[in-house]
Amino acid sequence: MLRPVLYAVFISSAIALPETGWYPKYHIAPQHGWMNDPNGLIYFQGFYHVFWQYNPAAPQWGLMHWGHARSPDLLTWEHLPIALAPSLPEDIDGAFSGSAVLLNETLTLIYTGVSENGTRQVQMVATSQDGVAFEKLGVVIGENETNFRDPKAWWQDGSWYVVIGAQTADERGQVSLYSSPDFFNWTPQGVLAQADPSLGYMWECPDFFSLEGKQVLVVNPQGIQSKGEDFQNLFQTGYFVGSWAPGGNFAVERGFRELDHGHDFYASQTFDSPDGRRLEIGWLGMWESQFPENASGWAGMLSLPRELTLSDQGDLEVRPLREIQSLRTERLEVPQTLHITPGEGVAILQNISHSEMALDFNLRNSSSNAFAIQLTKESFERDGGAQVHVDRNCSRVFLERHYPAYNITRSSRSVAVNLTGNLSLDIFIDGFSMEVFVNDGQAVMSSRIYPDAELRTFLITAQNGSVAVDRLKVWDLYLSIINAI
Ligand code: FRU
C-alpha cells in the first residue's frame, strides 16, 4: 500500500502530460501555470517586455504574480524569471494588473496590490535597472477601495498621468484619473469617464492614448447585457473615441464599441513601438469558460501583437503586427481564381496547426450568399470544429466553434461587414487560437479553438451558388520561444 503523500509524488512525476498540439508556436503562453491579462508592455534597453497575470502554482487563476518575457523584435521571446510575487502586506493576496513606464532610464512598473482577502486594492510601484530583477518601492495610491485596479500610466506635457479602473458608489464602471510630478506623489484629477447604467458595474483595465489627433479610451466592462449580436461575451473589451487635453474633460464623440468580435479577447493593453506605432496585445481568453489546455499543466495565451490606427470615421482599425510576415514559410499558393460550388466543399489542406491563411473573395463574381472557411474533419455540421461563415443576406461575418469533446457547445460571434465588393480574410491559427482579420483592419475576431489532430483540415464550402476566391495563400509560421534564463 502506498502512503497518500508518496502516491501524489509518484503521480506528478510519472504521468506524461497530454500532447495536444495546442501549445502555440508564435504566441506567448506560459510554460506551466495560468496566464491572463498582459501587463507592463514597454520597449526598454533594446527589448520589448511583456508581463502577464500569472499563477505559477496551477493552470487555474489563483495567487497572482507577474510572469515575464522579452523580445528584441516581438517575434522571438525569451521567458524570464517571475517579475513580481506577492510579498508585502499590501500585495499579499496578489500582484494584479498594471503598466510600465521609463522613469529616469529605469523600468518602472505600477500595479495593483491586493490584500485583506481581496477586499483592499492599492496602486504600488516597482523598479528595475536591468529589466530582469525588480525592487518593490511600495504603495503610491492607497484609497480604501475594493474595486480600484489596473493602473495605466503615461507622460504628457510635463506630468505623469494614470487611469485606474473603478466603480461608482451605485455600482457603475468608472475610470479615475490621477496626476503626479514624479510618479510617486499622486493627486486625484477626478473621474475621466463613467458608465451609464447599461455599460456595466465595473470597468477593468482602462487604457487611454492619443491616436491621429483623437483620444481613445479602452475599457473592459463587467456586466453589460448582450444586445442582439453585440456584447455576447461575459465581459468585453471596447473603446470610446473623443478628445481630451490635460486639465480638461474627456469629450466623447463615438460611444462604446467592441474592439474584437470573437469569443476570447479581454484586458488588452497598448504601447508605443520605437518607430511610433500604437501596438496592442490582449488576453485570448474569457472569464468563467473552459480552458481544456490546462490538462497539460498550462493555460492561457496572449494575442498576436496588433497595430492600431484610426479611420477618418473614428473607427479603430486593427491589423496584425507587420513583422509577423517574416515568420512565413510558404505552404500553398493557388495560382488562379478558385471557384467553389455547393456540395461537399473543397478540402484545401490538412494539419493546419500553426499557420496563416489569406483569402480574397470576389463577391461580384460569386452567386453564393453563404460560404465558409472551416477547420474541421470533413463536415463542420457533423464533426464540429471552427468556421468563419460569411452571410451576405445579413452582411455579417460569423466565427463559430463547436468542441463537444471539451464541453464547448456550439456558439458563434459576428460582426457587420460591407459585403458588396471584395472580402479579404487573414486568418491566423496557432495551436488553440484563431484570429481573423477582416478587410485589412476593418474588424478582428479572436476565439479559442480546440481541434484534435483529425479536426485540422482546412475546407471551403459554399451554399446556393458558387464563390470565387481570387487569392488563396497559406503559410506555416514558426518562431522559437527560448526557455527561462
Ligand atoms: C482582468 C482582471 C483585472 C485584474 C486581473 C486579476 O481580467 O480581472 O481587473 O487586475 O484580471 O488577475
Mutate to test the pocket of ligand 1, among 204, 233, 235, 266 (most ligand atoms within 8 A of CB): 204
Domain with residue 199: its CATH number is 2.115.10.20
Strands across the sheet containing 173-180: 148-156, 159-167, 173-180, 187-194
- Please give the Cα distance from 407 to 353 (Å, whole number): 21
Provide the b/e sequence for 112-137 (b: ≥16 CB within 10 Å).
Answer: bbbbeeeebbbbbbbbbeebeebebe
| pLDDT exceeds cutoff 60 at 9 | no
Residue 121 lies in a domain: yes
Backbone angles phi, psi at 340, to 5 degrees: -105, 125
Residue 3 lies in a domain: no
| Together in a domain, 328 and 311 | no
User: Residue with the nearest Cα to atom 6 of ligand 1?
Assistant: 96
Distance between Cα 97 and ligand 1 center (Å): 6
Q: What is the pLDDT of residue 484?
A: 40
- Please give the Cα distance from 217 to 209 (Å, whole number): 7
Give the mean model confidence (pLDDT) for residues 334-340: 93
- Please give the Cα distance from 29 to 23 (Å, whole number): 8
Strand partners, 95: 113
Q: What is the pLDDT of residue 215?
A: 98
Q: What is the pLDDT of residue 436?
A: 98
For cell 460569386, the residue is: 366
| Together in a domain, 212 and 139 | yes
8 Å CB contact between 240 and 256: yes
User: Residue with the nearest Cα to atom 8 of ligand 1?
Assistant: 204
Q: What is the pLDDT of residue 421?
A: 87
Give the mean model confidence (pLDDT) for residues 238-250: 97
Distances (CA, A) of 19 to 16, 294, 361, 432, 439: 9, 12, 36, 13, 35
Distance between Cα 437 and ligand 1 center (Å): 26
Of the candidates 299, 320, 341, which is a domain's last residue?
A: 320
| Together in a domain, 235 and 123 | yes
Strand partners, 373: 388, 460
Q: How many CB atoms lie within 10 A of CB 274?
A: 8
Mutate to test the pocket of ligand 1, among 60, 96, 152 (most ligand atoms within 8 A of CB): 96
Q: Among 343, 432, 357, which Cα is nearest to 388's? A: 357
Nearest 5°: the CA angle 236, 51, 274 is 95
Distance between Cα 59 and ligand 1 center (Å): 16
All three cell numbers of 24: 502555440
Q: Tell me the pLDDT tens digit for each residue of 91-139.
A: 999 999 999 999 999 999 999 999 999 999 999 999 999 999 999 999 9
Question: What percent of the chain has pLDDT above 70?
Answer: 95
Q: Tell me the pLDDT tens digit for each residue of 373-394.
A: 999 999 999 999 999 999 999 9
Confidence of residue 7 (pLDDT cuts 50, 70, 90): very low
Of the candidates 290, 320, 350, which is a domain's last residue?
A: 320
User: Residue with the nearest Cα to atom 9 of ligand 1?
Assistant: 204
Distance between Cα 96 and ligand 1 center (Å): 6
Domain with residue 346: its CATH number is 2.60.120.560
Domain that holds residue 409: 324-477
Q: Please list every protein residue whose CB sits less than 6 Å from any atom of ligand 1.
A: 36-37, 53, 64, 96-97, 112, 149-150, 204-205, 266-267
Tell me the one-letter amino acid at 317: E
| Together in a domain, 305 and 345 | no
Domains in the chain: how many in total? Answer: 2
Distances (CA, A) of 403 to 60, 176, 288, 414: 20, 41, 17, 18
Q: How many CB atoms lie within 10 A of CB 397?
A: 23
| Together in a domain, 268 and 349 | no
Question: What percent of the chain has pLDDT above 90?
Answer: 91
Q: What is the pLDDT of residue 403?
A: 97
**Taking the model in full, what pTM does it have?**
0.95
Q: Tell me the pLDDT tens digit for each residue of 137-149.
A: 999 999 878 999 9
Instruction: Return the active site residues.
Output: 37
What rounded mean pLDDT belongs to the chain? 93
Of the candidates 272, 304, 320, which is a domain's last residue?
A: 320
Residue 192 lies in a domain: yes
Provide the b/e sequence for 63-95 (b: ≥16 CB within 10 Å).
Answer: bbbbbbbbbeebbebbbbebbbbbeeebbebbb
| Together in a domain, 243 and 121 | yes
Q: What is the pLDDT of residue 482?
A: 54
| Together in a domain, 342 and 454 | yes
344 secondary structure, DSSP code:
S
| pLDDT exceeds cutoff 60 at 65 | yes
Q: Is 326 helix (H, G, I), strand (E, B) or coil?
A: helix
Ligand 1, atom nearest to 287 Cα: 7
Q: Is 478 helix (H, G, I), strand (E, B) or coil?
A: coil
Ligand 1, atom nearest to 283 Cα: 7
125 secondary structure, DSSP code:
E
- Which DSSP helix (H) or strand (E) runs through 123? strand 120-128
Distance between Cα 36 and ligand 1 center (Å): 8
For cell 510630478, the residue is: 181
Ligand 1, atom nearest to 97 Cα: 10
| Together in a domain, 151 and 278 | yes
Residue 169 burial (10 A CB sphere; 0-12, 13-18, 19+): exposed
Q: How far from the centroid of its chain's Cα atoms is residue 371's Cα?
A: 27
Residue 16 lies in a domain: no
ipTM over cut 0.95? yes
Confidence of residue 477 (pLDDT cuts 50, 70, 90): very high
All three cell numbers of 199: 455599460
Residue 21 lies in a domain: no
Give the mean model confidence (pLDDT) for residues 165-178: 96
Distance between Cα 74 and ligand 1 center (Å): 24
Q: Among 108, 96, 133, which Cα is nearest to 42's? A: 108
Mutate to test the pocket of ligand 1, among 36, 64, 163 (most ligand atoms within 8 A of CB): 36
All three cell numbers of 54: 500569472
Ligand 1, atom nearest to 37 Cα: 7
Cα torsion angle, 416, 419, 422, 424, sign = positive
8 Å CB contact between 413 and 263: yes
- Please give the Cα distance from 288 to 298 (Å, whole number): 17
For cell 526557455, the residue is: 483
Residue 38 lies in a domain: yes
Q: Tell me the pLDDT tens digit for each residue of 268-291.
A: 999 999 999 999 999 999 999 999
| Together in a domain, 312 and 441 | no
| pLDDT exceeds cutoff 80 at 343 | no
> If you count them, how many residues does the chain have?
485
Q: What is the pLDDT of residue 307?
A: 98
